[in-house]
Amino acid sequence: MTAQKISSTLSGLSVGPHRIETPVYLAPMSGVTDLPFRTVAQELGAQAVVSEMIASGEAIRETRGTLKRARAGTGAGPHIVQLAGHDPAIMAEAARLCTDLGADIIDLNFGCPAKKVTRKLCGSALMRDLDQALAIVEAVVAAVDAPVTIKMRTG
């Protein structure tokens, strides 16, 4: 697929009240895509930015750091929050909390290869347990009205 075809495919998408006119997105990066970084990326043209990965268990305990990572910026694009976890019920509750805090999209992290994530059977470890991954997707989709996306890796 050519860059022009990709650009036209990704342009003009609508997510709730947000219209994405450019295919410039900022991917979630733990320890990098904090609110100031996302704000600068939006000022430089990224219409869709994703929060740092948030552990679902921390989200439902509403820790200060988690709430800080889940905050929306001032940009015009959709507010996307990425969640990681292994338990479908906790992931669903975390997704509800994040949408209550203003998230327009919930992104599920099924791709992080970091050992501290995979040893808890989260991130890319879920690709070895597709039944668990499906249970998480079904629980989160049923819990929120917002679109749900998935970050995953192959290989």
DSSP state of 105: E
Could you tell me which residue, 67 or 146, shows the higher pLDDT?
A: 146
Could you tell me which residue, 130 or 101, shows the higher pLDDT?
A: 130
- Residues 89-127 have pLDDT tens digits of 999 999 999 998 888 899 999 988 889 898 999 999 999
What share of the chain in percent tops pLDDT 90?
37
Please say if 98 is a catalytic residue: no
What is the predicted pLDDT for the residue at 60?
Answer: 83
| DSSP 3-state percent helix, strand, coil across the chain (nearest 5) | 45, 20, 35
The answer as to whether 2 is a domain residue is: no
Query: Helix, strand or coil for residue 91?
Result: helix
Q: Of residues 90, 112, 143, 148, which has the active-site annotation? A: 112
The answer as to whether 12 is a domain residue is: no
| Residue 151, pLDDT above cutoff 60 | yes
What is the predicted pLDDT for the residue at 68?
Answer: 77
| Residue 38, pLDDT above cutoff 50 | yes
**Looking at the 3D structure of the chain, how many domains does it have?**
1
Q: Using an 8 Å Cβ cutoff, are 39 and 74 in contact?
A: yes
| Residue 5, pLDDT above cutoff 80 | no
**CATH code at 134?**
3.20.20.70
The answer as to whether 49 is a domain residue is: yes
The answer as to whether 6 is a domain residue is: no
Length of the chain: 155
Give the lowest-confidence range in 14-23, 55-64, 144-153.
14-23
DSSP state of 149: E
Kind of pairing between the strands at 25-26 and 18-20: unpaired
User: What whole-number distance in Å separates Cα of residue 154 and Cα of residue 32?
Assistant: 23
Give the range of the structural domain holding residue 103, as residue numbers without chain letter: 25-152
The answer as to whether 55 is a domain residue is: yes
